[in-house]
Structure 1
Amino acid sequence: MGECGVPPQVQLFLRACEQGDCETARRLLGLPGGGTTTTTADPAVPSSSCGTEEAAEPRGEASAPPATTTAAAAGAAVAVDCTDEAGNTGLQFAAAGGHEQLVRFLLRKGASVQSTNHYGWSPLMQAARFGHLSVAHILLENGADLNAQNKLGASVLTMASRGGHVSMVKLLLESGAFVDNYDHFSTSVLNSSRDDLPDITPLMAAAQHGHEAVVHLLLDWGADCNYTVKTMGWSPLMLAAVSGKVSLAQQLMEKGANPDHLNVLHKTPFEISVGFKHKDMKDYLESLTTIRPQADTEKRQPDVFHALKLGNFQLVKEIIDEDPSQVNITNVDGASPLMIAAVTGQLPLVQLLVEKNADIDKQDNVHGWTALMQATYHGNKDVVKYLLNQGADVNLRAKNGYTAFDLIMLLNDPDTELVRLLASACMQVDKDKNKLNNRSSLPCSRSRQSLNVPMLPDDKGETAYLYVLWRNCSSSSSILLLWYLVDPRRRKDDVGRKLKLW
């Protein structure tokens, strides 16, 4: 058995699929045509030819396969839909890498086009995220679910829109993708079962990342320019304000976007542009916005949630000093003041609330999220670090079953420093548990480590990151992320090209 329960042959097969090595993949599946190569070519360069069905798989006794291939088929063949620890199949890796011939080959051999990893990503999502148009065509021809969503509620079209792949977005729309993640002509909403997860539409993803051509295309197809995220109240115009691109805001306004819409923090797109210091966006939205920031006169009837929305440290302190019970009161969604402060990322307010005996592990009534989860999801590293230092429970699970670490691993582009912080905390918890149970802190002994997975020095504490990341990432990509975390000198782009299944 290989690293953490994944057999070595499976690891080799998945790595071959990631690299587009058809010959090795065929051999490990125990099929003819994938015999041992005798060339002295660079082994790092994968074979890219899967050949034709007839040429690669001769039939009859006159064309028996080599002995090495027969042995592989008899004793070491892997299943075409075998997975790593994160549930990724060979087809997932091949689709993410854009390996068209290998994708065709795996589908011919019975690979499931609907397979999803533990985070809900399908092969089509992988192809869409990285703009592999020909691979998407193949998967759609083989019945891939066009409107599937991952466990964060993001659809295939959302993946393509986030990446700014105009041709991919056009293909998906013309093939019948729901432009807003639900069928406009049906009463049943596609993501109605995902009320406990933050959701984002393709238009929001494109607006947030400044993809003007994609925004234009989605609006032409009838995307709702006033759709809002239920949990946070953000609209496409607000996300355009974050990007700072005035042309995006203009497109949305032409389609009827509401400049006076308020999010859960009572902020308009104009106020958001001010906060991000986008002068041109601020100047554009200011003349369109009729709702102005609330005046200080509202302090006459102070409320801790209103004070938090204002970001007024002194007012929050005065309110809690006068009525200490307000530190743990909840709003209509069951959120506490500490959770609101964690969302906004205002560390001084978070510190004040904790010092005033805020319940650091309190969970809201709607989703079961804690302040640590909110800070993690919104990328507020200083708040995450502080809450962890104050003993926030990293093992608490939301109503959907996810911990704070699970949330960071579900994001498309997880922040490496946040991963490091949470991984370290998780590892410490595991060490403490293992001490109580008198067993080693590592799940696999050093003698059973795969030869393909280099072990890092224990004295640097780097095996802790290996252990936690290995449990949550694909077998071939986790070690690359680990190298980047412990050696910031590595080029992020080089590592990022390999981390395709995030």
Structure 2
Amino acid sequence: MLSRVAFRDLWRIQWNSHAFRRPRNMAPHGPLRQLDQECATGESLRFITATRWPPRAFRQVRRVGVPSVECLPPASRHRLTEPRSGPGHIARCGIPYSWRPPGISSGPSPIPRKELVMHSSLIDAVRRRDAAQVSALLRSGADPHVRERATGLPVLAIAAGQGDAAVVRHLLGAGADVHAMDSRGGTTALHKAVQGGDLETVRLLVEAGSFIDAVGPTTGHTPLMDALWYKWPDIVAYLLEQNAMVNLETHYGFSLRERVEYELGANSEGTERQKLLAIADAMRRRIEEDERAVAGQALMRAVTEGNLTEVERLLEQNAEVDEVSPVVNGFNDGHTPLLVAARDGHFDIVRALIAAGADVNAVEPTFGAVPLHKAVYMGHADITGLLVRTPGTDIDYQGATNGYTPLHDALWHGHEECARVLLDAGARTDLLGHDGRTARDIAAGVFGPGHRIVREIEAAAVRPRA
């Protein structure tokens, strides 16, 4: 790794109370020895100077343990790829370290050396699997989100890839982000944990909230696909138990089933083939379980068909009103019957389900929507009115995908009547979507700034809330 030290006019700088007016003053002690302490032995240094050093100066630097020195004129500064290169900049162990020598007023603001040393030490401790040192550094204030520049990996991903559950536990306890992606492959710590093959680490990350179906942007691999690729039957079984999707495709066109067949063709014998056979068997069992679950959900089937008579009969027989559809990569994945009925416009079925105690705030996992989102999205004003009149309905719920409330959705798709029902029910008009837009912003864009619904939103905004 290349450490770069940039000075402006080394002939005039005073560093650590030592004056450098001529290269012959550069002895193997004082500031140069301190410089050597800043950089690991064996690293190379690149200097940006306003003047070129004579060979004698380079010999002096080499005497303090720095084997390779290159002097670049200021015009070569663009060749340095690390950010914030310039006067007084040091990049040490992959972490930017800004230092401003005495008398230099320009350049980047200094970053506390103690903080940077801790961050560098944290990466090193994680790499060495030193859980005790990691814990001590985190307690001292090291950043659990720090990223290794050479690999683009957050420290949590490094520990996860190494299958180091103890270090992962410390990092999670310090607030490390399980959703942080590596800057090269775009994968998460869970992907790396799967690669490492340690089931305990995988469990820790899933229990901490990792997205089990997170897709790598370069390969299209989910953690389950990686578990197949690296041939970890126990991790495959665990992810399948956690409802990981099985009917997805990679970015290069393979389904999970096709990937199993491909790997079986590539591994003709030995333990690797036995692992693949175990994985194929686990997947077969999961697919069969899903098929049985779908076949056994009579209430969901009746709702999907719009069969009110059958819905009422099943509810009288105490059918599970909030049964959740299995994840089979279909339109109803993770939905309750009420979510489906509200989306598909079955007013009488919605009323029957609510009367039977259905959860009016059930959230489906695909878009993070509630039944009210489903109703307004499709313009079902009658169902919208039924839901807002039902005690306990959260009329301002913001979906996880875009932060839109039902009012946002109604306006977004031009359903003025649904929007008016929500406004009359007291829906908030000040909430922002993830795009920073309020309901009024969306209404003005869809209907025009002078439209009646825009004026009604403006009036509702100043109306006292009940």
* Higher relative strand content: 2
TM-score w.r.t. the length of structure 2 is: 0.38
Greater RCO, 1 or 2 (C-alpha within 8 Å, sep 6+): 1
Per the normalisation by structure 1, the TM-score is 0.36
Larger Rg: 2
